[in-house]
Structure 1
C-alpha cells in the first residue's frame, strides 16, 4: 500500500516551471521526488526562499504551503500514520546538529524547519517586465506579490492544531506557530541619519555600492573567484547606511524554560531599531503585563507549565486577532489591538475546552506598510540544540467581519 502511495505522490509532481537563480542557502535542493524517511512519513524535499524567489509548482504543498529551513530529509514530512481529521499531518524534526542560522546574539545559533503560508508564484509576475521580478529579488520582497498576506489593522481568525509527544524534552526552546511582519528594504537611514523611503530605482543604485548584512550596510567589494572566474562580492567597512530588516514576530506560540507560552509584540517605530531588545521573557514576565520601551511593547499573553500541556493528543487552537494599526512615518498607534485564544483537545475520550486569552486589549503588530503572514513548524531559538519533534495540521485563516 505504501509503495502504491509513494508512486502516486511521485507521479503527481509536475515540473512545468523552471527554477530561478537562488541567492540563499535555504533555497531548493533540486530534488524532484518524495522519499519515505520514517515509517509512514514521506519527506517534503523542496525549499523556497520566499523573500527572494517565487515557488515553482513542484515546491507547492497542497496548493497552500512552501517549505523553508533545513534541507535534511527528516526535517519536514507528511505523516500518513498520524492523521488529523482523516488526513496526513505534517511532521517536523530538528536534531542536535541541525541549526544552520546565526542567532540574535553574537556566537549563538538557531534552526528552522517550517511551512510558510505566504509565497509568490511565476503567475504572480505574468504580464510584468522582467525587471519587476529581478528588482523584487534584490529588495527581498518577492513574497509581497503572492498569497497569504493579511493587512495591517485587519481582523482575522486562525485555526491550527499541534500534536506534542509525551517524550518531548522539556528543555526545548522552540516556536511552533508564528506570524511575521513584512519589512520593506527601501526604508533606510542614510549616513547623515535621515530616514527615507527610497524608490525602487534609488534602492537598486544603492545596491550597486552597498552590501547589507542584517540591517547594516557595508562597502561592496568585487572579487573574482579564482576557481570559477565568477564575480562575487564581499563586505568591506561599514558605510553608515541602515536598512529595514524587521524584528521579533508580532505573535508567537512556543515552548521555552519548561513553559508553553503565547507572546504578542508591537513595534511602532518606522525603521526598526535592532538594538532595542524589548522582548518579554515567558519565565520572568507576568501574564498580560507588558514590557515596554520607547517604541516597542512585548506581552506574554498566556503561559502554562509544559508538564500541563496535553501530550499524545491533538490540541487545536482558535485565534482571533485585531491587528494594531500604525501611522507609518509619524510612528503613532492609530488603532489598538485585541487577542482572543481558545484551546481544545480530548482527555480520557472527553472533549476539553479552555479559554487562554479572553478578548484582551494587546498591542500586536509592526509599523510595516504591508501586513503579516503565518508560518508553522520548528523555529528553534535561544542557541538551543535540544532535539525537537512534533506534528502540526488543520490550518485555516479567514477575515472576520
Structure 2
C-alpha cells in the first residue's frame, strides 16, 4: 500500500548476503537482502532480477553468476512504496566467478599382474584445507595395494576395503594449498585377466577452503585396463653377402670378411626401443646393438673373428632380440650367416695337406675334384709375389701356400 506521497527518504538497505561468494561461471548465487522504509518496500532487485518478499523486511532470490572468471559486484536496488518510488542502491556485495577445481585420477593401463602408482590430484584449487573422498573400483580387476600421503600436511587418513572395492580418505592442511595439489598416491595392482576393465570412480567428494567454505569442483573419474602387450614383429631379415671368411687379421679381398645384417622391426601398439643380435658364435657380442637406419629398418655390419667349427655345416643362426617401449620382446627370428675358413677347400673345417691334395687333383684334372672345383672364396689364399689379397683364381700357388702353412712355415691363410 502507498502510505505517503510526501515520503522523499529512500529505503535503507541494511545487508546483502551472497551464498556462495565463490562460484563457477554461470553458477547460481542465493541473494538475501534486508531493507526497510517508512512507506514500505515495493520491490527489491539484484542485478535486475526481482527478489521475493520473505517477510520480516527480508527479500530473497537467485541470480546467475557471470560467464567469465573474475570478481563482480552485485547491484541491489530497493524501491519504496511511496508515490514517488524512492530507490536505494547498494553494490558493495561481491562474488568471484572461478573455474571449478578438478578432482582427477589418470587412466591406468598395465599388463596382467602388473602395478602402477598414480596420484589423485586436485587441479586449480584455492586455499584448500580439507579434501574428503569416497573412491570405488572393481576388486575382481584391480586391488589397491598401497596408499600414501600427498601434499596436505596436517593429517591424512584412509580406509581400504579390497573385498568390496572402495577406499575412503581425508586430509587436512590448516594453511590451505592452492594450484595443483596431490591428495594421495595410490598403488594399483592388476588381479583380473587381460582385457578386463574397471571404472575408478569418485563416488563422493568434498573440498573446503580455509574459511570453511565449500570449494566448487568437478570430478574426472579414471579407468583401469589390463592389457596384454603385443610384442614387436621382426621380418625381412637378410645378410649381404650370405657367406664370408673367418677374419684372422691377414688381408683378404675387400668385402669377403664382413656382412651387412639387416631386419625390419615393427610394433603394432608402441615403439621399438632396442634391437640386438647375438654374434657370440662368430666371436662378437651376445647382444650387439643394431642401428636404426630409417623407418622400420635396423642394421649392423659384422665380421667373424672366431668360428665354432661344426663341419660340414658352417652356417650360424644369429638370433635377433627386439624390445618395445612396454617391455615386450621378440626373440624368435635369426639371420643365417655362413662363415668359411680360408684354405679349407674340402670343407672339413681344417686347413691341412688334404686341402693341398684337393687343389692338386683339381689342377691335374683328376676326379672327383675336377668336377667339383674348389671355391674361389676359400681357395684363393695368395696372389702373385705372395700377395695376401689373392688373385681371384685357385691354382698351385694356393696349394703351395697351404702346404707351407701345414708345415708351419707361414701364417694361417
| Larger radius of gyration between Structure 1 and Structure 2 | 2
TM-score where L is the length of structure 2: 0.17
The structure with the greater share of residues assigned to strand is 2
Task: Select the structure with the greater relative contact order (CA < 8 A; seq sep ≥ 6).
Answer: 1
TM-score (norm 1): 0.18
